[in-house]
A = this chain, B = another copy of it.
């Protein structure tokens, strides 16, 4: 039976979102709540269940293919187990069984970055690409890899940490403990630090004003906001970040020869000119034959993870029922 809906859940460090999603990716209903960060795993499960019940209320259970859940954790996808989670107390918690015991549907879990990639792959910027790389620029810099039309997870489900590629041998320390990693140049903390520096050293009026006049309060969002409002110093910071991103992508493109690179995440989605600068670098420096790769912004914004999770649920249902995609 071809069901009409799946529920996609996107669990983040700050918020949990759930959506009732049609097969073609239309979100019929969407709800969000704050992540109960400090009350243990059961509180998180409670929050997830509440959102699932909310979005699926009024829909007959037989119309729902299943539930997909994206988690900010290292997932063993084949075992459907949470291996490791730094931001939430989910280490080794059997989230799939906990959720499944309280809903009438099958549950599939995956890493949140993979869900975002699957979302863009089915419904967004990656629709026609079999081989692509998604990179998410935010506080951290992560991503997902798609080879031959499928997510590639690596030998232990830990692949796609694009932010932790070395791009500079003598570069600054990275939050992970390494040095010179991409994230230490383009993550939000790095952009904010560059913004504070500029507001101290240069004029950067707009930038300082964006932070209420106090240079020390400047965040990455202030830098982006000021750049979009025309502040040249802020714009320069983001263009330089785009250059470093581009240089890292030269390596990724030479290594993986993807058809497409999708740049998402809060920073990637709000900064078209940063992504364009990265695309220019790739075009200038990638090896011959690889320059047909397109570097584009993600299309689905915050919904990517939820849509990808729902797509996983449809897939799981269809493969169980022997329906070809």
Contacts and interface: CB of A to CB of B under 8 A. Distances in A.
B156 A130 contact: no
Interface string A48-68: 000000000000000000000
B131 A161 contact: no
Number of copies: 2
A323 interface: no
A99 interface: no
B167 A254 contact: no
A39 interface: no
Nearest to A153: B257
Interface residues of A, number: 53
B165 A251 contact: yes
Contact of A250 (B84, B154, B164, B290): B164
A184 to B, nearest CB: 12
B257 A156 contact: yes
A209 to B, nearest CB: 31
B74 A161 contact: no
Contacts of A169: 167-168, 171, 244, 247
Nearest to A133: B255
A301 B259 CA distance: 33
A322 interface: no
A165 to B, nearest CB: 3
A166 interface: yes
B290 A257 contact: no
Contacts of A256: 145, 152, 154, 159
